[in-house]
């Protein structure tokens, strides 16, 4: 696909300067490195990763890049002696590398560093494009799906643990600490887990504070510490009987399950989102397509992988779904006077349907 992008833009190279905190860089190189490094791939078969000397041997063992060179190999330190400025030395080194490979036009992603871009446009024709690796990441391999499935299993275990301790503890911060510690001890990282109860739950991304008593939204999206892949899962737990909250929850459960039944290759994210809006509106609730400020006020879902939010989108103008995509389905309803509810599963798109990775009963009551 990347070579098709280069041909379409009549360019010789696509270039990134990033660390493995950038999921597109990690996807392209499979190399974990804490600080940004230079990566170029070209239509002539060139694929080159430039790393500090201390990282070279490890990069040769661990990355999937064809050619590894150190900053010392490409003359960076000689240029540093002349300029006494690391950014200038790096920029000159990168420019010389591109010229050595006869680059005239290069493509860079939207998050490319400005200090490099400023000098590159003096030497080359430069076009800023959406990172093609972010598009490639949308369709998962069988190995990637298995990694997400393993995170999903841990996610369900964490929710079971949450429901057990919820019987005795009703403080959002304490519960969040316990759930995230539980996941960490099993090899997963969770940050900003949403444990938002009562009226606070009317704000979809409120993480939750203090005591609650009526109901609580539990939304966790952990990442595997070994693979880097995520899962995403939400349930609303009923504690006290509340007819209005229960009716809202039942409408969301219906919308989620009918949307999941609709998902298959060839369906668009917009069609799935429209169905969810149809169902919630049929129950008398307002939705975002009506420009509502309360009710269903977010998208139906998003892709999950090396990022917890990535392509595709289940929303207006949403992409055509393809087999191998992993997406969430998460209808919710939020009203300031009563609170909010949400249910969410992560699913794999298949040719003739989809597979739920986060299987758990929809209606949970303590």
Q: What is the pLDDT of residues 263-310, one digit of tens each?
A: 999 999 999 999 999 999 999 999 999 999 999 999 999 999 999 999
Q: Does this chain's domain 2-136 share its CATH topology with 142-365?
A: no
Q: What is the pTM (predicted TM-score) of this model?
A: 0.95
What local confidence, expressed as pLDDT, does residue 7 receive? 92
pLDDT at 165: 97
pLDDT digits (tens, 9 = 90+) for 96-106: 999 999 999 99
Q: Answer for the pair 18, 138: CB distance below 8 angstroms, yes or no.
A: no
Check pLDDT > 80 for residue 1.
no
Q: Average pLDDT, whole number, for the chain?
A: 97
282: helix, coil or strand? Answer: helix
Annotated domain spans of the chain: 2-136, 142-365
- 58-83 average pLDDT score: 96
Averaged pLDDT, 221-231? 98
3-state secondary structure 178-194: HHHHHHHHCCEECCCCE
- Categorize the per-residue pLDDT at 68 as very low, low, confident or very high, splitting at 50, 70 and 90: very high
Residue 284: φ, ψ to 5°: 95, 10
pLDDT of the residue at 2 = 86
Please name every residue paired with 195 in a beta bridge, in sequence order, or none if there are none. 218
- Multiple choice CATH, 142-365, 3.40.50.170, 3.40.50.300, 3.90.230.10, 3.30.750.24: 3.90.230.10
Among positive and negative, which fits the CA dihedral 310, 64, 5, 268? Answer: negative
Contact between residue 263 and residue 353 where contact means Cβ atoms under 8 Å apart: yes
Q: What is the pLDDT of residues 198-213, one digit of tens each?
A: 999 999 999 999 999 9
Task: Render pLDDT for 118-159 as a digit per residue (tens, 0 to 9).
Answer: 999 999 999 999 999 999 999 999 999 999 999 999 999 999
CA dist 170 and 44 (Å) reads 61
* Percent of the chain whose pLDDT exceeds 90: 98
What pLDDT sits at residue 3? 84
pLDDT higher than 80, residue 69: yes
Quick one: average pLDDT of 235-256? 97
pLDDT reading at 162 higher than 90: yes
pLDDT band (50, 70, 90) for residue 160: very high
SS3 content of the chain, % helix, strand, coil (to 5): 40, 25, 35
- pLDDT interval class at 10 (50, 70, 90): very high
Give the integer Cα–Cα distance in Å for 217 and 341: 6
The H helix count followed by the E strand count for the chain is 11, 19
Q: Residue 262 above 90 pLDDT? A: yes
Pick the CATH number of 2-136 from 2.60.40.10, 3.10.20.30, 3.40.350.10, 3.40.50.1820: 3.40.350.10
pLDDT at 71: 97
């Amino acid at each position: 696909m990347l070579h098709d992008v280069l041909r379409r833009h009549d360019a010789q190279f696509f270039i990134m300067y990033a660390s493995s905190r950038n999921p597109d860089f990690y996807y392209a190189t499979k190399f974990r490195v804490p600080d940004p490094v230079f990566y170029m791939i070209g239509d002539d078969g060139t694929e080159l990763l430039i790393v500090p000397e201390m990282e070279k041997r490890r990069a040769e063992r661990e990355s999937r890049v064809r050619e590894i060179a150190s900053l010392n190999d490409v003359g960076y330190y000689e240029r540093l002696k002349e300029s006494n400025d690391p950014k200038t030395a790096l920029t000159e080194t990168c420019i010389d590398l591109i010229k050595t490979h006869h680059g005239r036009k290069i493509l860079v992603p939207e998050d490319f560093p400005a200090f490099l871009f400023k000098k590159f446009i003096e030497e080359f024709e430069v076009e800023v494009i959406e990172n093609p690796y972010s598009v490639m990441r949308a369709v998962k391999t069988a190995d990637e799906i298995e990694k997400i499935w393993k995170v999903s299993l841990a996610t369900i275990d964490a929710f079971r643990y949450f429901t057990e301790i919820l019987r005795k503890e009703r403080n959002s911060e304490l519960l969040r600490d316990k759930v995230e510690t539980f996941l960490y001890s099993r090899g997963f990282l969770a940050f900003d887990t949403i444990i938002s109860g009562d009226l606070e739950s009317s704000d979809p991304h409120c993480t939750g504070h203090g005591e609650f008593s009526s109901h609580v939204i539990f939304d966790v999206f952990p990442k595997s510490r070994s693979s880097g892949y995520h899962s995403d899962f939400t349930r609303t737990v009923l504690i006290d009987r509340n007819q209005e909250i229960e009716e809202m929850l039942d409408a969301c459960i219906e919308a989620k399950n009918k949307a999941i039944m609709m998902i298959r290759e060839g369906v668009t994210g917009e069609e799935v989102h429209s169905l969810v809006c149809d169902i919630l509106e049929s129950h008398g609730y307002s939705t975002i397509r009506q420009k509502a400020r309360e009710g269903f006020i977010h998208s139906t879902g998003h892709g999950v992988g090396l990022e917890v939010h990535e392509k595709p989108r289940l929303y207006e103008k949403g992409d055509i779904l393809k087999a191998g995509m992993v997406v969430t389905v998460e209808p919710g309803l939020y009203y300031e006077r009563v609170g909010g509810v949400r249910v969410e599963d992560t699913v794999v798109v298949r040719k003739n349907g989809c597979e739920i990775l986060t299987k758990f009963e929809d209606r949970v009551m303590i």
